[in-house]
Amino acid sequence: MTMPECHCPGDRRAGAGLLAVALVACVAVVAGGASAVAAEKKTRVARKAPPPKLERIDCMVGTEDQQARIAIEAVGGRIQNFAYYGKTKPRTCSMDVKRDDAFSKWEDNGSVTVVTLVDDTGAFLIDNEKGGYRFIFRDIDRMRYCGMDGKINGSLTVVRRQNRYTCTVDRVIIEGPD
């Protein structure tokens, strides 16, 4: 059997050497491709989870003439904003408090959030209880939100039961010269 003629400089063994180099190069390309596929699989696993879902909650307790309402937006169990509306006919009071606005400072500490209103006009303590939220009103200035002298103190609880939220006003005390 004769070796094919080599058109490369050197002797006939040079052809065998080139074949060996080509074979090594081929193996390196295949191995490099395999590691690229493995790297691709690792990046697929390392993708970020989707952002938490926005949850909107709205509930009311009371009658048309005397009621308390709260609307809440939460992301991942953390309140982002809430709006409270209270009515004791003929008086009404409403407040809308948003995270990162110019009118409040929010501090999260575990399952509790403290919302301090500007100009020392009161504070809210929000307890993210299992299955709901409890809002505690602390010396909320009625003049800023209701246009009347006095303070609002008390608490309102929002509880999730059977995929539905219900409100309970534990007590909301409106102090003032009415």
Q: What is the pLDDT of residues 98-127, one digit of tens each?
A: 999 999 999 999 999 999 999 889 999 999
pLDDT single digits (tens) 9-45: 444 444 555 444 444 444 444 455 555 555 555 556 6
- CB–CB of 154/142 below 8 Å? no
- Tokens 């004769």 sit on residue: 2
Distances (CA, A) of 34 to 26, 29, 38, 39, 92: 13, 9, 6, 9, 70
- Give the mean pLDDT of the chain: 78
Q: Is 62 exposed, middle or buried (0-12, 13-18, 19+ CB in 10 A)?
A: middle
Model pTM above 0.85: no
Q: Which is higher by pLDDT, 144 or 10?
A: 144
Distances (CA, A) of 131 to 69, 106, 117, 125: 18, 22, 26, 17
Question: Which has the closest alpha carbon to 117: 92, 87, 146, 138?
Answer: 138
Helices (H) and strands (E) in the chain, counts: 2, 10
What is the percent of the chain with per-residue pLDDT over 70, rounded to a whole number? 70
Structure tokens given for 130: 């299992």
How large is the average pLDDT for residues 143-169? 86
Enter the DSSP assignment of 158: E
Distances (CA, A) of 9 to 6, 15, 19, 25, 75: 8, 10, 15, 21, 73
- Tokens 């952002």 sit on residue: 51
